[in-house]
Every structure is written in C-alpha cells, then in structure tokens.
Amino acid sequence: MNCNNSNQTPSQKVIRMIQGASITQMIHVAAKLGIADLLKDGPKSCDELAKAAGAHSQSLYRLLRGLASIGIFSEVKDRCFELTPEAACLKSDAPDSVRTFAIWTGDEVNWKPWGQLLYSIQTGKTAFKQVFGSEIFGYFRKNPEAGEAFNLFMTERMNALVKAVASAYDFSKAKVIADIGGGQGLLLSTILKSNPNLKGVLFDLPAVIKEAKNVIEKSGVAERCKLVGGSFFESISVTADIYILSSIIHDWDDKNSVTILKNCRKCMPTNSKLLLIETMIPPGNEPALGKLTDLNMLVLTGGMERTKSEFEQLFKQTDFKLANVIATPSPMNIIEAVPV
C-alpha cells in the first residue's frame, strides 16, 4: 500500500488506520525484545539481533522489514538493520524514550480490554473489569508484574511531563506545596529543586510512600520534603499553599472525583490554590490527544478526560472556582482552582 497519505483515497486512508492495531503490536514486540538498544552502537545483522534477543532469525527479519517500511529501523543491506530517528526513541536511555509506552500499550493487560471496547460503548462500563474481573488498580496489587509494567510506563511519561509543568507555573510565592497522590515524588522533587525556598509534602498510599523515600533522598530534597501516607478517598491531613493533583482526576468518574476534591477542600486554607495537571478536551473536531486517551480511561479505569465546562462543574460541586488554565510544553494543562 502507498504510505503517502496525500496520494491515498479515503478508503486507503481508513485501511491504514485499521492497520494501526497490527503496527502497535509490531512496535511492542521490537520494544519488548530491546532491538533498539542492541543497535545503539551501529548496524547489526538479523542473525546477530536474533541471537542477542532470543528470537527466531527469519521471523525477526520479517518484523523488522515491516517496521522499516514505516520508518522504524532501516535495512541498510541484506538482512542488516540500523536505527532511524524514530527507532532511536525505542532505546531505553533515549531522552525522549517511548519504549515503556510501547511495551505497556501492547501488553495484554492493556490490549485485551481494548478488544472489548464495544462492551464499554454499549454499557458505559469498564472493559478492564469485564475482562479481568476486578478494577485495574486492584488487579495491579494482586499481579505485581503487570503493575510494574504500568509503573515503568508512568515513570517514563512523568519524566517527559515534570519539566514542562515545573517551568510553566510560578511557584516562587508559595512556601509549601503538597503533591496529592504524587507517587514516588518525581514531579514534587523537580519543583523543589527549581525552587530552593520551597518545602514540599508528598501524600500517597503508605505502600507508595515507602517506595518513594529512596527517590526523594536521591533527588537531594529530603530535608525539605515531608512524606505522608494516607488515602485521598478518606482524608488528607496536609496543610500547604498549593495542592497538586497530577493525572489523578482523569482516572475516576465524577462521583469519585468529587470525593477526592471535597477531601482536598476540607484541608485547604482559604488562600491556597489547587492545581490539576490534566489534559483538557477542546471543542469541535479539533484533533486532540485527550479525545483518544478519554477512550483509554473508559476502557481501563472508568475515568474520563474532561472539557473546560466539565471541570467547572466538578469545581462547582466541591466549593472551588476555576481561576486559570495554563498551557505547558506538553499535552497537559495546569488547571488552577481556588476555594470559595
């Protein structure tokens, strides 16, 4: 098929989109086998790659030939491949690495629920629970290997996000910031390192806080960062000038999101601010990542990406008022709200 979109008929373009599922699995397998890492020092033959990756040489050749046809890897001579700029993004140590994203996206824990998208569309229910019998985060607790794959993906995603967020908002007037549900503290530590006069509080489940301790210590901000264990569905015993919820609200439906926001509001001083780090869906037919990740939330968590109006409705129910929406050098926005 001609890959030049400008020369394709509408049906050819749609066929190309339909083939996206196959391409996802092709990239997933190459990432899982670590092919890009094996090519970081230069071209290698398919036999060399297969031996190092534990793969069948002829089958691996067919995979890499297919990927090379869409610009990921390049066959420089017979059965010998090298990196392209797109393939280099699959290296583990690439500054813009998407390797764990490729691994997670093609993993059966993500892949199988997407195969039940029709179920979610017809019922409004989460396909993940239909497939695996439990909610996704409960499944991770019982299946730590799957949870680790997800955590690696989220860490890679956060690495790309934190600098964009930290540079887009002026934290200099605050004395204490609290990252609620902040995981291992990557965002909080990045903000603290950029603002040496700030103190921070990392709030998450006790098991997560236990893991975060080493991360915070290695970041060099441990003396300015308090670690607090708890659940944002129960109570948040934290006092700060700025409260951050980064990629939290989109994981949950409106009912659970209201509970989280109300618990934040209960502990917040009247002159404090709340920052939601989220994708905001634009109106109309404008292309937007959030319109696609919104379906991902439907299938996997039961959550949703939201429009500006939908965020305003959440705030209205939880005694907040939308104050500002700040774009970042990423697909995420900083949605600033104040108590009322």
pLDDT single digits (tens) 323-339 = 999 999 888 999 999 99
Residues 44, 134, single domain; the answer is: no
- The domain tally of the chain equals 2
pLDDT at 162: 87
Q: Is residue 132 part of a domain?
A: yes
Same domain, 198 and 327: yes
Which of 145-154, 211-220, 234-243 is the most confident on average?
234-243
Fill in the DSSP letter of residue 251: G
pLDDT of 156 strictly over 60: yes
pTM for the whole thing? 0.86
| Residues of the chain above pLDDT 90, percent | 85
Residue 250 known to be catalytic: yes
* Beta carbons of 268 and 243 less than 8 angstroms apart: yes
**CATH at 135:** 3.40.50.150
Query: How many Cβ atoms sit within 10 Å of the Cβ of residue 329?
Result: 12
Active-site hit among 28, 91, 129, 250: 250
**What's the whole-number mean pLDDT along residues 144-170?**
85
CB 35 within 8 A of CB 64: yes
The residue ranking higher by pLDDT, 157 or 32, is 32
What pLDDT was estimated at residue 3?
A: 55
What pLDDT score was predicted for residue 333? 95
Q: Which of 60, 12, 16, 15 has its CA nearest to residue 34?
A: 60
For residue 46, what is the domain's CATH number?
Answer: 1.10.10.10
Which band of pLDDT confidence, cut at 50, 70 and 90, is reported for residue 217?
Answer: very high
Residue 129, domain extent: 119-339
Distance CA 215, CA 193 (A): 13
What's the pLDDT at 2? 46
